[in-house]
Amino acid sequence: MAGRKQHFIPRHFLKEFVIPDGNDKIWMYRRGLPNPVPVSRDDAAATRDFYSKPAASGAPTLDDLITGYEHELRFLVEEARAVPAAKKLPVDLISEIVAHLTMRAAYLREFIDAGVSELASSIDTLIHQPSKFLENIELPTHRVPTKFEAVAMERLEQHLLGSLSNVTPKATVRLLYQAIRENFDQLQREASSELLTFLERFQGEFQGTARSVHVQVLAEDLVPAKQKARLEEFHWRVVHYPSGDAVLPDCVAIAEDPNGWGPYLTAEYKSMTRVVIPLSPLKLAVGSAAHDFEEVAEIYNQVACDSCFTFYLANRREDVPQTHLAKLGGTARQRIANVTSSALREAVKDFIGDAANDIGGAGQPVSWNDLATGSDFSFSVSFRDFGDETYAKRVGESLKDAVKAFGGYLPIHRLDGITFAADYAAALQELDRGQGTSRAVDPSAGTSANDVAMPLAVRRHDGIKTHIVLKGYIAEQLTSKDESLHGEAISVICYCLGTAAFNTLLEGKFPGTLLAPHTDPYEGWLYQYNDALLATYFSIRLLTPNKEMVEFYAEQALLKTDQMIYRIIDAHAQYQVDGEHERLFEICADHVSGFMMSMTRYFAARASLIGPQRPIGRFEQKLSQIGFAKWSKLFQADLAGFYDRLDDWASLDDMHFLNRHFERLLLEVGVLPDQLNDGSLYIHTSDEQNVVARLRYSKCL
C-alpha cells in the first residue's frame, strides 16, 4: 500500500537532479521565497494525499495504481537516460514518459485552479466594471444579435408568451432588445446583485474542482492515448546540456508553438513544433517536427524557468534576485489570465456583438479620401417660374463660389443641378428624378429647419446624382448685399451640399443602392420613412452652429412633438369611426418620422456646438413627460456613433438602426409594424397610446 506523502513527480525521476554532495537533497526555487532552499528528495514535489486518501476498506486507491505503474515507468526512464547524447530516442518510449509525467504533475491542478480564479475575477470585473471588460464590444444598433434572438425566441415558446399576443415573436424580441439597449444602465445595476450571488455560488461549487478533475483524468488513463500519439509524431533526440545544470520545472516538459515557449500542457495541441523534457542536468530529450534540436540547449533554462507555475528544481544553487523568485510563474499566470479573460470576452462578444454573423452586404472599403472632390465639375442652375437670364447669371456666380469652396474638401462632383422655384412644392413634385424613381416628395421634410430646400437623389445616364430644389427667395438672399441674409442662404446651400457629399459616399460604398429597391421588403418599408435622416445629420454636423441656432432647433423639435401628439390623438379618434387601418398607420408613421427628423436636426446641431451646452429646457422636460428621455439619449448616441464611423461603414444594413427606433416610437403611439411568417407586412393597432397616457397622467394634456 502506498504512503500518504504522494509524489506528483516520481522520486526516481528526481534522483538525477539531486545536489552532488551525497545528502539526497535538491535545490528548490519557489515562488515567494527570498532564496532557493535545499529540500529532501522525499519532500520535493510531494503533497499529503495528493491523489487519494487511504481507503477505509483497504481497497486499491489511485495512489496505489500510480505506485504500481511507477515500477514500469522507472525502467522506461532509465532506458531513455542511457541513450547517448546526439542519438535518437525510441519514440514510443519517450512519448509515454512525457504523456504520463506532464498529466500527473500538480501543474495541471494548479492551472485549473488558477483558471477558475481568473474566471471568477473576470466575472467580478464584468459586474463592477463592465466598460473595462467589454471595451470595444458594442451592442448592434440595427438588429438583434442572432444568438440573443434564438435564446429569446426559445424562452417565448417555453413560457407561451407568444400566444398572449398576435404580434410575431421576432417583432416582440426586436422591441425587447431595443428596450434592453435603452435601459442598459438600469438593467446592469439590477443584474449586479444577481451576478454577485452567482459568483459566490460559482466559487463555492468550483472549490476543489481541480483536484476532482485531475483525479478523474488519471483514474481513466495514466498515459493519455491522444497525447502519446501526438508526441510520437515528433523526431526525438538526446541533446547534451553542456553546463550540466538543466533545471526541472514543475510542469516537467515545455513546448514551442506559434505563441513561443511555454508549459507543454498549455501549448496549442495541433501546432506544437518542439517539446523538451530534461532527463538529467546533462541531458535533454528534444522532440522536433523539423529536426532542429541543437539550439534548444542555448535557451532551455530560461524558457523552462519562465514556464514554471510555482517552483523549479536544480542540482546547483544560483544566486537569484528576490524579485526573480517573487515573479516566478508570472508568465504562466499571465497566459492563464489572458486565455480566461479572452475566452469570456469572446463569449460575450459572440453573444451580443455577433459581428461574424452580420447579415448585411459588405460594402467597398471606401473612405472620404478615396472619393474625388468637386473642384472641377459642372452643374446646372435653373429657375422654374421666375427670373431672367441676367438674374440667373448673377445668382449662378454667387453659387459658383460657394460650391467651389465646399467642393474643395468634400466630394460633390455628383451634384446634378440646383433649381430655384417660387412654387416650391410643385418644383419638388415635377422634378425628373429618372427612370424607376416615382415616389412622391413631402415638401415639409426638407433638410433645413425652415423647409425651404431639399436635396433629392436622381438617376441620370452617368449614375446616381443629387439635385437641389430651393424656394425662390433663397436666390434673392444669395445676391443680397446684406451679409446676414447672404450668410443664411449660404448655410442652406451648404446643408444641401452636405447631402450631396453623403450621397456620393453612399454610392461609393454601395454602388447602385441609393435608388434601388431594398433587398429586405420589411426593412425597406420602414426605412423609406426616415431615409433622409442620416444625410441630414451629416449635413448639419458639417457647420458649427451658434447657441441661438441650437435653441431654434430645440423649439422646432418641441413644436413637432406637440404636433405629433395632437395629430395622433385625432387619428386614433377617427380610426374608431372609420376603421381605416392604413390611413391610421400613415398618419402615425409620417408624424413619428417628422419627429425623428426634428430630433436629428437638434442632436446634430448640439453635437457641433462649440462651448458650454445650455441647461435642460422646455424640450427636454417635454421628452421626460412623454417618457422619451432614455430613448432620446440612445437615439443621440446611435446617430453620433454612426457619424463617427462613416469611414469604416461597410454594411448597408447598419443604417437600419433608424428602423429600430422607428418601431419603438410607433409602439408608443399605438401602432406596430410587423412582418408575418408568410413574409407579408402587417400593422397592429392599439387603443393604448403610451405617449398620450403619460401626458394625461402628468396633467400636461
Contact (CB, 8 A) for 375 and 415: no
Residue boundaries of the structural domains of the chain: 1-357, 368-697
Question: What is the sign, positive or negative, of the torsion defined by CA atoms of 403, 408, 409, 413?
Answer: positive
Is the model's pLDDT at 286 over the cut of 70?
yes
Q: How far apart are CA 607 and CA 640, in angstroms?
A: 8
Phi-psi region of 291 (alpha: psi -120 to 50; beta: other; left: phi over 0): left
Residue, of 320 and 696, whose pLDDT is higher: 320
Residues 6+ apart with CB under 8 A from 89: 80, 83, 236, 237, 238, 285
Q: How far apart are CA 70 and CA 72, in angstroms?
A: 5
Is the model's pLDDT at 640 over the cut of 90?
yes
Residue type, 322: Q
Grade residue 396 by pLDDT with cuts at 50, 70 and 90: confident
Residue, of 252 and 697, whose pLDDT is higher: 252
Kindly report, residue by residue over 51-77, the tens digit of the pLDDT: 888 877 777 888 889 989 998 999 999
Is the model's pLDDT at 655 over the cut of 90?
yes
Q: How far apart are CA 602 and CA 610, in angstroms?
A: 14
Residue, of 113 and 16, whose pLDDT is higher: 16
pTM, entire model:
0.64
The predicted model gives 334-346 an average pLDDT of 65
Buried b vs exposed e over 281-300: b needs ≥16 C-beta within 10 Å? bbbbbbbbeeeebeebbeeb
Q: How many residues does the structure list for the chain?
A: 701
Grade residue 635 by pLDDT with cuts at 50, 70 and 90: very high
Grade residue 353 by pLDDT with cuts at 50, 70 and 90: low
Grade residue 363 by pLDDT with cuts at 50, 70 and 90: low
Least confident piece of the model among 70-79, 111-120, 554-563, 673-682: 111-120
Is the model's pLDDT at 691 over the cut of 60?
yes
Least confident piece of the model among 22-31, 260-269, 359-368, 439-448: 439-448
Is the model's pLDDT at 225 over the cut of 70?
yes
What is the predicted pLDDT for the residue at 617? 77
The predicted model gives 7-22 an average pLDDT of 93
What is the predicted pLDDT for the residue at 447? 43
Q: Give the burial class of 536: count Cβ atoms within 10 A of its Cβ; 0-12 exposed, 13-18 middle, 19 or more buried.
A: buried
The predicted model gives 111-127 an average pLDDT of 67
Q: For 480, which DSSP code?
A: -
Is the model's pLDDT at 133 over the cut of 90?
no
Least confident piece of the model among 295-299, 525-529, 687-691: 687-691
Residue, of 212 and 254, whose pLDDT is higher: 254
Q: Helix H segments across 318-471?
A: 322-326, 330-348, 389-407, 424-430
Q: Which helix (H) or strand (E) holds 508?
A: helix 483-509
Q: Which helix (H) or strand (E) holds 106?
A: helix 106-128
Strand segments (E) across 155-198: none
Nearest alpha-carbon partner for 661 in 141, 127, 35, 87: 141
Q: How far apart are CA 568 and CA 666, in angstroms?
A: 11
Instruction: Provide the mean pLDDT of the chain.
Output: 83
Q: How far apart are CA 8 and CA 616, in angstroms?
A: 68
Is the model's pLDDT at 311 over the cut of 80?
yes
Q: How far apart are CA 569 and CA 554, in angstroms?
A: 23
Q: For 350, which DSSP code?
A: I
Is the model's pLDDT at 240 over the cut of 80?
yes
Residue, of 377 and 179, whose pLDDT is higher: 179
Grade residue 123 by pLDDT with cuts at 50, 70 and 90: low
Q: Which cell is 492 given? A: 442652406
What is the predicted pLDDT for the residue at 351? 60
Q: What order of strands is seen across the sheet that includes strand 380-383?
A: 380-383, 415-421, 463-471, 453-460
